[in-house]
Every structure is written in C-alpha cells, then in structure tokens.
Structure 1
C-alpha cells in the first residue's frame, strides 16, 4: 500500500501539479528554480556555484487591449529531458560544437481565460536559455502583444557595458559604468550623431548586455533565434537593479503580432567567474535550429578588399556618378548626365583593386556606388532611391565580370537601401537574379536612415522578418549576405549559414569620424559578437587621415592592433579595409593579413577582461597553422601567451608582429617589429602591448 502511495505521489510530481521545480546544469554549477507565486505568477531564479545570478524574477506578457497574461496560472504539466550531442557549423570558430544541456518544459493554463502558455528552459554549463511557446488552442489564436514582462532581477549595482535603448540603431559607443549611473549618462550618449535614432521611452539599455558583479561574476544577457518577433531592449530600474524585457514596437505601439503555434526567441543568460568562458560560450548558437539549407557547398569564407575606405578619407571620392540632385530613378538617362569626375566605382579603378586582390590571394572586391541612385543617398523621405540591376555608365558589369573571373576574383555586390525597405523588397528578386547572372556570390546590404514603411523601426518585428527574407531569397540564388545597420544578430548564422556576417555595431568606419575609443574592440567580443560574426573591416595601416586632405581623424589603435583584430574579432568575412597603396608601403606587416585564416577548427581564449584586454588563439581549418591576436585598451600591458594548445611532440616557428618600443596609438602608431622564434607547446611567450596596441602571431609546424 505504501509503495502504491509513493508511486502515486511521484506521478503527481512529474505531472507538474506542484508549483516548484529545479534544474541543474550538466556540471552541477548552475541551478535553475521555477515556481508559481501565490497569485499564479510564474517566476524563475538562477544560481552559479551557490551564488545568486538572477534573483526570483517574474515572467509573462500583456496582451492588447488590456489583458494580463502573466499571473493566475496553474501548472498542468512538467517534463524533464537532457541532451548531449555535437554538430558541425558550416563556418565558425570551431569545426565541431558540443550541445550539452538539461531541459525543463512547463505547461501553464490561465485560470478564468483558459489560455495556455508553455515555458521551455535549457540549462547548459555556460548559462541558461528559456523561451515562451504559444500552443495551438481554441481559446486563443491571433493576438497582439502590448509587452513582455520577463524580468532579470540582479543582485546588485553591477558594472555594465551598455548602449542606450534605441529602436533604430546599435551604433552608439559603448559606455562603461555602474547600473546606478546609467540614468545620469544616457542623455549625453544619446547626443551621438547617427543616421537614425529612436529612443526608448524611460531608462533602457540594449542587448547583448555585459555585466560584472562585485563578487566576480561575469553575466551576459541577450536573446537567441530572433524570428518573427521584435528585438528586445531592457528597461532598467536603477534602484532595485531589475531589468525587464522591452520589445521594439511599431510606430502604432504594437509590440508583436502573434499566432498560436509559434514561439518567442530564447532569453539567454551566460554566466561564469572567468571572463574567458563568456567568449568561449556556444550557448546562443546551440539554441538556434540546425541548418535549413540542403546544399551548403557554395558557402565559403571570404577575404576581400574594396572601393570603400576612400569614401571616408577625405580625398573627394564619391559614391555618386553625377552632382545632379534632381535625378528621378527610372526616368533619368544617366548617359546624358555630366559625370562629376569623382565617382569611385568606375571600371578602370575597380580593375586596380581586382589586380591587387589577385596578386595577393584575396577572394573578393567590394564595390560601393556601382548602381544608379546615389545622388539621392541619405534622402530619407524618398522611397524609390536606387535601382539594384542598373549600373552607372562608367561601371561595365560584363567586362568586370570577365576581368575578375580570369583572375580568380569575385566582385562583392552592394545593396544600400537607405532604409527604403519597401522598395528593396519590390526589387529583391530581380536584384539577386542580376547577381546570379553576373557572377556575384556575396552581397553587402545596408539600412542607413529611418525605415520605409514609415510605420517601422530597424528592430521591430516587420524588419526582423525582412532581414530573414533577404537571407532566404539570397540562398535560392546561392548568395552570401553581409548585412549592415541591421538588427543585432542572435545566432541565426547556424540556421542560415549564408547570412555569414553583419555589422550591427560601431565598426571601423567610425574611426574616420574620430569615433572609436581604444577600449572599443576589447568590449565588442563580450557584447555585439555574442550573437554572431561581425564585419568590423579592420586593417587600416595609415591611421592619420589628415595625410589625405580634409579629414583630420586619427585611428585609436596601433598598426599591430589592427592586425590582431583579424583574430580577436571573429568573422568568416574579413576585409583588408585600407587603400591598397598603403599595403604596398608595408608589405612585411601586410603578410599577416594575407596569411591569416577566416575559418577555424579550434579557438582558445587565452586571456580576457571586458574593456581591458583579450588574447585569442585559433587553428586554421584543415591546416597545421595557428594564429594569435592580443589587444589592449589605452593602457600598455604584458600579454602572457601560453602555447599549450599546440599538439605534443612537434616543433613550430612563430612569426611575431609586435608593437615597437616607441609604439603608442597617439604618437607613433606605425612603430612595429617582426621576429621569428622556434616554439613548442611548452613555450610561454610574454609580449608587451603598447597603449591601444596589440600582438599578432602566426605559427606553422616545422
């Protein structure tokens, strides 16, 4: 009789009719607790090695017009499972990724309405992911979100690496402060001159949000698998230190249009007491669906040069073919227009870059300003700005296709929309067909300025769906996509690996506006790059732009730090962004850019502290070659580089590109020295990094 009662109680617990459940990570370091409060509000909490990471935090939604969907719940079912598998990314920092997690699925029903809501938790050794699932049900089919009430209740006034909440841009400089100081600093940060800004009401910050607690925990909050849902900012209560999900609305205030049978993105919390573990985490990738493309053989890493940096340097080179500001796309005959003489994307000039790429082994040449319509660039009120299959008269598509193909080089297409997205969608099929017909297999898309349709923001649900439509359409034509000014990534490069890079943060172009601080690239891997690879466009050797004329900007790095960024800023798309003439002046330093890989078998995080320094080593895919990049902020330091990741029983030669004794980003950025050294896996290198300097090392087996 007692046995029967015990079994009955066990079944009762598994069925989920008790309100409290716990889940441990596979290694036991993380513990998730979930329960319902007395009023039926779902809450969760998270501990790491016995320390609170997230205190008990509420969950749920508000539904228009005035329904609460965050309390008065009953648990109807609870299920547990676990998984330990490996998978191979098409492109990545590692050739194989382990997905080892435990899962708790909780089914809820709201009393009174009868509405159903499920919550799925996955706990990994490096953090937590959870999402909401809206099951198909008779009582609820289509509805509009008024908000998501997910909380992240922190344990104190953490150090934060933050951008102000904004629906239209993620190109603010990162501010480092205590959470309690965000309010006093936000207004100043919002003054940053950017092409489109749409501030969140109230106090909010963007994700990925990097935090460090007073007791030494590193915490990163973001989202994974953002599909058919608005991007999330975080409202900040800077007295109680509570972050609450803030969904990007449309301009009518709707936060999302939902049909039951769908799911939300995963909310992610990556945590460790070692900053290196944050950079090594694959949690966000693991929470995305496997690759949906049947054939990925055409997807490959790309190293490229381009007609690009000259537009920023002050030499007078322009995107536009003519100075006529009264162009009407589709009606103006450009052959009758007077050329301005400064158009950069002309056939002869592009051939120079093709020749340079072919000589030095680069895969592609990006050409911006090739197509009709650039005279109206930044005319944000105008809807039909560009034609994406009509080149300017001085850009010979067929000749350049032939010339590049003969030299084993691909031209990279550029689709700048100036955020007239409705017009781009009308032209998109023709644009990608044009690319396929003319031998292009990669495109850089751009979304500068306020969105058209004028009811939308960059980070809203409609635009989130647009970016994915571009990736899917491009895949049908076997085109790889590099999106700029798009919503910050959430690991979808796993599911759609042709979406192989994004900008979605403050890139190198801001250096030409005197806009990036020395610490900037020591922060981005902990923030922007948590969601996926970034087209940061490093490799600027001539950091004093005043040598070109009107631009007085100076880069915030040494030349060697620019080399190191090819390792620390992961991307399978890497640009040698400077004018090709500058590489010809420094061929010995340029050799590292030529050699460094863009796709990897293994990655080793050797040193890391957000905002201060990063040292990373990587093994090139399919080769016995390793590359190391180390960078620092405005403070000089000594990098300690342990080579124990190298295979045993072998000898290697390391080529070390180092800051010179007098190197300093402010006064002597181009002082560098190159040396070689025999090394083994027992070698520990100690290398001085200059202020905002770096070290870059290539290692080959002897």
Structure 2
C-alpha cells in the first residue's frame, strides 16, 4: 500500500517567517520560525503541551562563514507519506511509514548560499536534517560544528552514559538532567579505552521521562558520511546541544554538495511502549540497496568465545609475554589456546545435535600475542590460521554436519590494515563457505588520532557492510559506532554490539540488573544487538574459586533476553557442558525463533521492566520474554495476542520461589499448561529475574 500527497507552495522571504507541521494523529506539532536576525529555530509540542522550547538550528563552517543566521525563506513544501515496507529480517513482517513532511528552503542574504531544513512528523516523534543543494557558492566544505539544540522543559529523569568518542560500553546512569556529571561515575568498569569529551557530554540515544509522565528520546538516524552526534548539556539549564565527534585534526565532517546530514530525532509519548516499539529510526533510512536478499538469513549460533572470557582458554596460541618474541622467532604453544581444530569440532557436534545454524571461532588466526595496548598497525592478515587450527578440516567437518562457520575478524583497531586485507579475507570466507563474520575494533584507532565515532570510522563501518554485500556475506560488528538504522539500507549488516554486552560480566563489575531494561529504549532503537545472552553458569567462581564476578541476572532472565533483546543473530553464549547440565532450560534456547512476523510490547518502563511477545515469522508459534531490574516483580499479562479459536501449549520458564540474581540465580522452574487468547498469565519474577514462555498451537 502506498499513498503520497504533495502540496507545493512558494513564498518570498519577507512575507513568511513561520511554518508548522503536525503528525498524522495531530498530537505532535513542530513549529519552525526565523528570528529577526534570520536565525532558524524550532519548537515541539505534544497534545498541546510544550516539549522542546525554542531551539536553534544551523551549522558552522570551517571557512567562509556560518550557516546559522541571516536567512530568508525562499519556499515551503509539504507532503504526506503513508506506505508499508517489508524488512528482510525484523521484529515484524511489515513496517508502516507514515509522516507529514515540511521542507523549508532558505537562502543567506549576504552570501547567497542555500540550505534546506527538512522536518518529518511521525505519530511517535519528529525528525529534522540539513540538506545542502548543489550550488556554485557551496561546493566542497568542512563542518566545524553543528548548532542543533534541544531546549527541554524541565529536569527530566535521564538514562545516560558518558560522551566517550571511543566506546559505548558503559552501564547506564539514572539521574536527573541537572545531576549529569561524567566525573562522578566509576571508571573502574572494565573499559580499556576511554575518550570522554567532558564533564557534561553524554551520548545519544538519550532516554528521558518527565515528572508528568512523558517519555522522550533524543537520537539520530541515517548517519552516513558524517560523525556520530553526542550531546552537550548546558550546565544550570535543561538544554542539550549537538556535539559532533572530531577527526585527528579537529574537523568534524568533510562534505560536498549536494549532500545531507543525518536525521536528528525526538521521540515523544505518554506510553513507554510507543518508544521501545518505534520503527522511526529505520523509516528514516534509505530502502535496501541489495536487490537479491535471498542469501541474508537469520542465525542461531554457539562458539569458542565465552571460554576465553572466563579464563578456561585464550585467544592467543603462544602467550602474550615472551613466546612470540623468543630468540628463534617461533610461536611456542602454551596449551591454553581455545581455537583448536578438535575443540572447534566439539562445538560443531554440539551445534548439530541441538539444531543450531552456526559456530563462531575467535582466536583462530595468528597475531593475538602482543598487539593489545601497543597501537600496532600490522597485527592480523585475516587469512593465516594458527598451526593448531586446520581451516579445511574444520570446514569439511562442519559441512558434513550441516553447520555453517562464522568467521572472526578482530581488526585491533587498525582499520587501515583491515581495509588493505579485506578482499582477501572475504575471498577466504567464500572459499570455505562462511556466510558471516564477526568483526571487532578493540583498542585505539589507526589511522592514529581518529575516534571510533568520527566520520572516518563511520564511513569505514558502512563501507565494510557494502563490501560484504558485494560478496553476498553478512557482518556483525563489535566495538563499532552504534547503529542508526543502516541495516535497512544494507540488511546484510545483520547485527552489531556497540554497547556494554554480556562479556563484561565475566571479568569486571558487570552489568547491573537494570541494564537490559534500558538497552531496548536506547541502543536497540538503531538496530539489532548481538548481546550474546544465554549464560547459565552465573557465578565465575565456578571456574576459579577466587573469582567474585558474576552475571547480574537469574538463569530464567537469560532465557527471556532472547525475546526482549531483538537480533536475527543470536548466540547461545555459554559452554556446551553448562547447557548439558541444564538441558530442560536449554530447550527454550533451542526452540526460540530469531526472525519475527509480529511483535507486541505488552509492558514497558525504562530502567524497571519490559514484557514482549513475538510471533515466529515461519510458524504459528509465539514466544514471550519478561524481565525486571533489581526489584522482584509480579504482573498479570493478557494473552489476547494469540489467535482466537486456537489452543496453545504454553511452556513457562520462570524464576524459582527463592530465586535472586545475587544469592540464588540458578533457581528456576518449568510449568506447562493449555491456554487460549482469552486467558491471562501471572508472571512472577525474582529480583534481577525474568520469565520466558513458548506458545505452540495444539492441533
């Protein structure tokens, strides 16, 4: 279905200084105006209540003046879009894209330069971007700053992480806007590289809640050939300013007209479910540029990974201290290397036995011994295996078992080296039938002086997705800039990490129980996350009695995360032997789908709880995941999402009566019952706990 209505109007600059656009529901209104000095500004209201007060717009240029003032309006154009599109992989089979658009064409009186500001009003929020048309007086130019402001109405409750140009791997802080201070957070948090930009600099997406119960989210969409936007809080005010990540010499973006900036987005609702279920970020990205997407498949996988995080084995073959640099220059094995042919075959057997699609192997290739922390450029060639990893033998064995191997490309932050070797690495994947790779960007970036969130790296991450597409391969990036919906344009960009994931529970202070209740309101708005759930052996003293680290959830919550944390690429992250000990609970991971026909967000409150029901894309099965923070929770949910007239066998995986994330995390119980769409189910979640349910139709 597609319906587009156009209305074109032309105005002279001295006749018009204000325009407005409303969402299709008319609940959200955005007003645009020019000040007496020709400064472009905007404001936003929701149900006639001010949300964003008068806020500046514009960009600063490195030379030739700024595009911030002295404007007049040349023309105004409005149009309405109402259409539906089908994602290749997603939370639902069809996504509605319905908005009203307002384009303001501006010209600068003294310079004659032109810029368009485009606004879109959706039912869940508004978006705006800068459009630089082709023109003689603005060809190549450098952005030195962006003046986009978000002037808020009060001291909202805020879920924030520091404005670190190199990492999003922080636990969230829950404070008022006025209490944001990056100097007061615990930096002994396991993050190896920190580039925090200032005391009041924070990252987007920024999730907020006003004192009168409105939910707000500031983010961005379609970041292409542009740096990531962080946010500057103006002290003693409730105002946020855009903060673009610089390159090695302090410039923000190199552009040539015609071109556009990313979309700046503001989501607004009095129902938190509208925020967490929004597809606005995806809608603001271009449609898929891949014509044949038949090779893009969801995957459920296991892998040689968690055993390194818990200390059972290592990524390196020879040890990082002296073996590689021995006098004879030979690699001498330590005996702890995880990525061996035999160990990989063990994971392949486990995957085949339990119906998984793939096996990831980290540490298979030479170079792991001495790179970390040394800012070394030529670490990996992405094609040479260690002596104890036989690429052909592993591939042949996996093929005989019907299992696909997932390649691992740790770049060591040296993106220049990765790009030099990329085609050879992808050719190797094609040769051995690898459908996907997990890439990593641990450490300081090379070219030196660049940040993970700068324009250079944004272009690199997007380029890698495009190059993988050329080879009909999928990519899952870790330690990359956070996604902003580019997976719509290149759906082979199947997942990313770009947030504090599960591994931090293995060797740091971990992720607090509320962490997973915030990520769906922040990181996951931009695209699927490879969070690597499914850890059953919760406490790390299982591997070493001296260890005190643990996963900050119950076992039942680990199951629920497969539903609440959307990704078409889901890992059963624990060790095979741990799943064998809890085979009845493991059944849910074996059963749960990863690609969805429909999703229903039943309950939501950022930082507190989330309950989601999803329907498998290829069957009539439904799955439900419910999670809570550090507080135990009882709730009753309606099963009205089930098909009327059908009976379902519900298998409920829930916390035991005395379960607790810290004191008794592995206590769970499994209950089976027959239900219909008329029924309600009582969910009993322990502190840091959750519930997972599978619903299978009874024929």
What range is the shorter-chain TM-score in?
over 0.9
- Corresponding residue pairs, total: 689
User: Cα deviation per residue 1:196-248 (whole Å; 9 max; x = unaligned)?
Assistant: 11121452110110010111110011100010000000000132211111000
Q: Distance in 1 between matches of 2:248 and 2:145?
A: 14
| Number of the residue aligned with 1:397 | 391
Contact kept in structure 1, 2:156 and 2:176, CA below 8 Å: yes
| Number of the residue aligned with 1:87 | 85
| Number of the residue aligned with 1:292 | 289
Say yes or no: does 1:480 pair with 2:474. Answer: yes
Contact kept in structure 2, 1:608 and 1:614, CA below 8 Å: yes
User: Cα deviation per residue 1:56-101 (whole Å; 9 max; x = unaligned)?
Assistant: 1100011114722111101101000001100000000001000011
| Number of the residue aligned with 1:566 | 562
CA 1:435–1:272 in 2, change beyond 3 Å: closer, same or farther?
same
SS in structure 2 opposite 1:339? coil
SS in structure 2 opposite 1:427? helix
Quick one: which of 473, 485, 498 aligns to 1:491? 485
Quick one: which of 251, 254, 257 aligns to 2:254? 257
Quick one: which of 530, 537, 541 aligns to 2:525? 530
SS in structure 1 opposite 2:97? strand
| Number of the residue aligned with 1:408 | 402
User: Cα deviation per residue 1:234-290 (whole Å; 9 max; x = unaligned)?
Assistant: 000132211111000012110111111010110011110000111111100000000
Quick one: which of 68, 80, 88 aligns to 1:70? 68
CA 1:60–1:189 in 2, change beyond 3 Å: closer, same or farther?
farther
Deviation at residue 526 of structure 1 after TM alignment: 0.6
State how 1:252-401 maps to structure 2 within 5 Å.
252-315=249-312, 317-323=313-319, 325=321, 336-401=330-395
CA 1:440–1:332 in 2, change beyond 3 Å: closer, same or farther?
farther
Contact kept in structure 2, 1:164 and 1:189, CA below 8 Å: no
SS in structure 2 opposite 1:493? helix
| Number of the residue aligned with 1:437 | 431
Q: TM-score, normalised by structure 1?
A: 0.96
Q: Distance in 2 between matches of 1:265 and 1:217?
A: 25
SS in structure 2 opposite 1:223? strand
Contact kept in structure 1, 2:85 and 2:96, CA below 8 Å: yes
Unaligned runs of 5+ in 2: 1-7
Q: Distance in 2 between matches of 1:547 and 1:378?
A: 27
| Number of the residue aligned with 2:3 | none
> In terms of mean alpha carbon deviation, does 638-647 or 545-554 score higher?
545-554
> In terms of mean alpha carbon deviation, does 349-358 or 109-118 score higher?
109-118
Deviation at residue 498 of structure 1 after TM alignment: 0.3
Quick one: which of 591, 604, 610 aligns to 1:608? 604
SS in structure 2 opposite 1:504? coil
Q: Distance in 2 between matches of 1:500 and 1:648?
A: 34
Contact kept in structure 1, 2:166 and 2:194, CA below 8 Å: yes
The ranges of structure 1 where at least 4 consecutive aligned residues each deviate by more than 6 angstroms after the TM superposition are 326-329, 331-334
State how 1:646-661 maps to structure 2 within 5 Å.
646-661=642-657
Unaligned runs of 5+ in 1: 1-9
| Number of the residue aligned with 2:581 | 585
| Number of the residue aligned with 2:535 | 540
Say yes or no: does 1:518 pair with 2:516. Answer: no
Contact kept in structure 1, 2:323 and 2:331, CA below 8 Å: no
**Aligned Cα root-mean-square deviation (Å):** 1.7
Contact kept in structure 2, 1:544 and 1:555, CA below 8 Å: yes
State how 1:172-187 maps to structure 2 within 5 Å.
172-183=170-181, 186-187=183-184
CA 1:189–1:79 in 2, change beyond 3 Å: closer, same or farther?
farther
CA 1:452–1:621 in 2, change beyond 3 Å: closer, same or farther?
same
Deviation at residue 379 of structure 1 after TM alignment: 3.8
Q: Distance in 1 between matches of 2:41 and 2:354?
A: 57
Contact kept in structure 2, 1:14 and 1:78, CA below 8 Å: no
Contact kept in structure 1, 2:13 and 2:72, CA below 8 Å: no
Q: Distance in 1 between matches of 2:264 and 2:351?
A: 42
| Number of the residue aligned with 2:5 | none
Q: Distance in 1 between matches of 2:255 and 2:230?
A: 19
SS in structure 2 opposite 1:374? coil
Quick one: which of 665, 688, 692 aligns to 1:692? 688
| Number of the residue aligned with 1:119 | 117
CA 1:541–1:365 in 2, change beyond 3 Å: closer, same or farther?
same
Q: Distance in 2 between matches of 1:499 and 1:288?
A: 14
> In terms of mean alpha carbon deviation, does 152-161 or 233-242 score higher?
233-242
Contact kept in structure 1, 2:140 and 2:256, CA below 8 Å: yes
User: Cα deviation per residue 1:491-546 (whole Å; 9 max; x = unaligned)?
Assistant: 11100000010000000001112311010001111111111110000000000111
Quick one: which of 396, 407, 414 aligns to 1:420? 414
Q: TM-score, normalised by structure 2?
A: 0.96
Contact kept in structure 1, 2:282 and 2:488, CA below 8 Å: yes
